[in-house]
Structure 1
Amino acid sequence: MRDSDTWRSDHLLKRGFIGLCLICMVASSIQFIPVQYINSNISNFRNWSLTVEFFGAYIVMFNFAVYAYRRYSNGNLFKILSLKDYQLTAFATVMAFLTAQAYIFMFSIFFQNRFSIEAIHFSKDLYDNNWSLTLLIIGFVFLSPIVEELVFRAYFLDVAFPDKWRWLGEIFSAVFYGLFHMRYHNLYSFVFFAQYGFWMAWLYNQTRNVKSTIIMHMVLNSVTISIVGYYYYH
Structure 2
Amino acid sequence: MRIDIITCLPRLLESPFSDSILLRAQKKGLVEVCVHDLRKYSTDKHKKVDDYAYGGGAGMVMMIEPIVTCLRALQAERQYDEVIYMSPDGERFSQRMANELSMKKNLIILCGHYKGVDERVREHFVTREISIGDYVLSGGELAAAVVSDAVIRLLPGVLSDETSALTDSFQDDLVAPPVYTRPAEFEGIKVPDILLSGHEQKIEEWRFKQSVARTKNRRPDLLR
Shorter-chain TM-score bucket reads: under 0.3
Larger relative strand fraction: 2
Q: TM-score, normalised by structure 1?
A: 0.24
By relative contact order (CA 8 Å, sep 6+), the higher-ranking structure is: 1
Structure number with bigger Rg: 2
Q: TM-score, normalised by structure 2?
A: 0.25
Larger relative helix fraction: 1
